[in-house]
């Protein structure tokens, strides 16, 4: 611990965000980070607790508290304070393959569990992480470092999202020959096409992929395994296969008039927007147009917020976001103590932008769509929304959100974006490899295991656990790589943490 009084001497400071009305003019990242000298003071705020909850990654009250990767947070916070940026990078990389991603898109579970939350504001760990990795690229610490010895074992990774990339990175470091297959035209999975550019600029992905290629990993794009290439071919060609295809089945809305023109899944909307941006800076017009239109987003999570921010940038006339659940409290409730994840209301960047543009928070709580109404051409023109309340289901004993009779309301709408989450692995991939699925339509394994019902086929990430966070997907990829390595070599020296 470099400065025992650091948390008393320095106030928390974070990157300054461009104003909402300015940043909606572009699709670039919009934060201006602190100079390294100022960031070092933020490292000094770390208390080096005897029990570092920030790196615990434990489950409390059904939610994760602290970093699932068990990042060595106090160690590299201290190194940041001391200005030893190179060693800080090496400590960070021991547990995290992709700090360039997590320092941009992770919700910072480490900060929520920081002991400083008891009496003040948490250490700006996420921004310390950003400073470490960006400085490492600048100084050359993050350059390619290929393995010196190869095992001759060949591994196929299907899917290039965070879990697939993490598994590939780990297995390559061990000396195995790794090929990553991606069905899209570019590497990155949902990092590429599910997260908008203003949260993660795609050259950040390209920069890391280039390093991984220089380290010996082969990437094959436009390769939809199970469609373009048979699963049996992979099993013959490779010693092991790791499935990391994500949870790609979007949850639908069952309402009358669902067939109306103008209703889209959020993932299709976000993918089309990013692809058009990357391909032609929108000149090809191959994105879902919302300019001048009234947009309704169904879903109150991160993806819903991304749809709000993207719609505003594309020129929507108005944006409403429907959330089934009640508004969370603005501060921790008594039954939600630290170090549990704080179940509080967060106004994210898209909602901030909607407030700046339209004068009010776009979210309408405890509300859903009961019916979509179309004109004679089948085009969406209105939606009937209804209030919801929590009631106990007598048959199951579970509390359900049910419509409140008499609260129906018609609203004008041109475009609906469904951001209601995902339901599990896509059926065609599971069928191609003949792997068993569990009750939640995720690929089944033994508890805490990664080998599927098919010999030599492993699974990682959302395809294994269901929809989750990037940081958890990275952890899954690391653990799956460890299991694969052990099956190949009889032992493993890959470090998960």
Q: Specify the pLDDT at position 425.
A: 85
Q: Specify the pLDDT at position 341.
A: 96
Report yes or no: 124 and 14 within 8 Å, Cβ to Cβ.
Answer: yes
311 φψ region: left (φ > 0), alpha (ψ -120 to 50), beta (else) = alpha
SS3 403: strand
Q: Which of 192, 164, 101 is nearest to 478 (CA)?
A: 164
Report yes or no: 299 and 365 within 8 Å, Cβ to Cβ.
Answer: no
- Sequence-separated (6 or more) residues with CB below 8 Å from residue 396: none
Q: Specify the pLDDT at position 394.
A: 84
Report yes or no: 242 and 231 within 8 Å, Cβ to Cβ.
Answer: no
Q: b or e along 238-252 (b: 16 or more beta carbons within 10 Å of the residue's beta carbon)? A: bbbbbbbbbbbbbbe
- If one counts every other C-beta atom within 10 angstroms of the C-beta of residue 61, the result is 11
- Give, for 240, the enclosing helix (H) or strand (E): strand 240-243
Report yes or no: 220 and 302 within 8 Å, Cβ to Cβ.
Answer: no
Q: Specify the pLDDT at position 1.
A: 62
Query: The pTM is what?
Result: 0.96
Torsion of CA 75, 78, 79, 82, to 10 degrees: -160
Q: How far apart are CA 18 and CA 37, in angstroms?
A: 22
Positions in the chain short of pLDDT 70: 1-2, 496-497
Entry field: residues in the chain: 497
**Six-digit token string for 215:** 């380290």
Domains assigned to the chain:
6-139 (1.10.1060.10), 154-248+423-489 (3.50.50.60), 263-418 (3.50.50.60)
**Six-digit token string for 397:** 């004993």
- pLDDT tens digits, 342-377: 999 999 999 999 999 999 999 999 999 999 999 999
Q: Specify the pLDDT at position 48.
A: 83
Q: Which of 244, 268, 240 is nearest to 160 (CA)?
A: 244
């Amino acid at each position: 611990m470099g400065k025992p009084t650091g948390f008393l001497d320095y106030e928390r400071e974070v990157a300054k965000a461009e104003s909402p009305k300015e940043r909606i003019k572009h699709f670039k990242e919009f934060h201006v980070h602190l100079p390294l000298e100022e960031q070092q003071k933020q490292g000094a705020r770390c208390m080096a607790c005897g029990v570092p909850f920030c790196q615990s990654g434990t489950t409390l009250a059904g939610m994760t508290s602290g970093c699932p990767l068990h990042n060595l947070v106090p160690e590299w916070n201290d190194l940041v304070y001391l200005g030893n940026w190179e060693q800080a990078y090496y400590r960070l990389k021991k547990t995290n393959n992709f700090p360039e991603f997590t320092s941009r898109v992770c919700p910072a579970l480490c900060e929520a569990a920081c002991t400083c939350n008891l009496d003040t504001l948490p250490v700006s760990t996420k921004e310390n992480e950003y400073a470490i990795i960006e400085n490492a690229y600048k100084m050359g610490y993050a350059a390619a470092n290929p393995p010196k010895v190869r095992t001759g074992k060949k591994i196929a990774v299907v899917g290039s999202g965070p879990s697939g990339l993490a598994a590939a990175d780990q297995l390559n470091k061990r000396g195995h020959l790794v090929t990553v297959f991606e069905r899209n035209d570019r590497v990155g999975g949902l990092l590429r096409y599910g997260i908008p550019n203003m949260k993660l600029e795609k050259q950040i992905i390209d920069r890391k992929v280039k390093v991984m290629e220089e380290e010996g990993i082969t990437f094959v794009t436009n390769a939809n395994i199970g469609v373009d290439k048979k699963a049996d071919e992979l099993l013959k060609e490779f010693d092991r296969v790791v499935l990391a295809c994500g949870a790609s089945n979007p949850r639908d809305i069952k309402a009358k008039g669902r067939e109306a023109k103008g209703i889209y899944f959020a993932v299709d909307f976000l993918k089309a927007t990013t692809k058009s941006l990357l391909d032609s800076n929108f000149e090809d017009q191959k994105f879902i147009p919302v300019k001048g239109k009234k947009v309704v987003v169904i879903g109150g999570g991160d993806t819903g917020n991304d749809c709000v921010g993207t719609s505003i940038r594309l020129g929507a006339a108005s944006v409403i976001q429907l959330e089934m659940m009640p508004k969370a409290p603005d501060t921790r409730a008594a039954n939600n103590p630290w170090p549990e994840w704080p179940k509080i209301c967060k106004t994210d960047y898209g909602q901030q932008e909607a407030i700046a543009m339209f004068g009010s928070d776009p979210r309408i709580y405890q509300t859903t769509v009961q019916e979509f109404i179309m004109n004679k051409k089948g085009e969406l023109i209105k939606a009937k929304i209804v209030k919801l309340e929590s009631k106990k289901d007598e048959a199951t004993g579970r509390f359900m959100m049910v419509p409140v009779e008499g609260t129906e309301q018609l609203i004008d709408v041109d475009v609906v974006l469904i951001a209601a989450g995902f339901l599990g692995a896509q059926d065609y991939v599971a069928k191609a490899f003949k792997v068993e699925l569990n009750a939640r339509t995720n690929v089944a394994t033994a508890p805490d295991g990664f080998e599927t019902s098919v010999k030599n086929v492993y699974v990682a990430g959302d395809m294994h656990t269901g929809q989750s966070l990037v940081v958890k997907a990275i952890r899954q990829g690391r653990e799956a790589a460890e299991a694969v390595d052990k099956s190949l070599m009889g032992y493993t020296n890959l470090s998960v943490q």
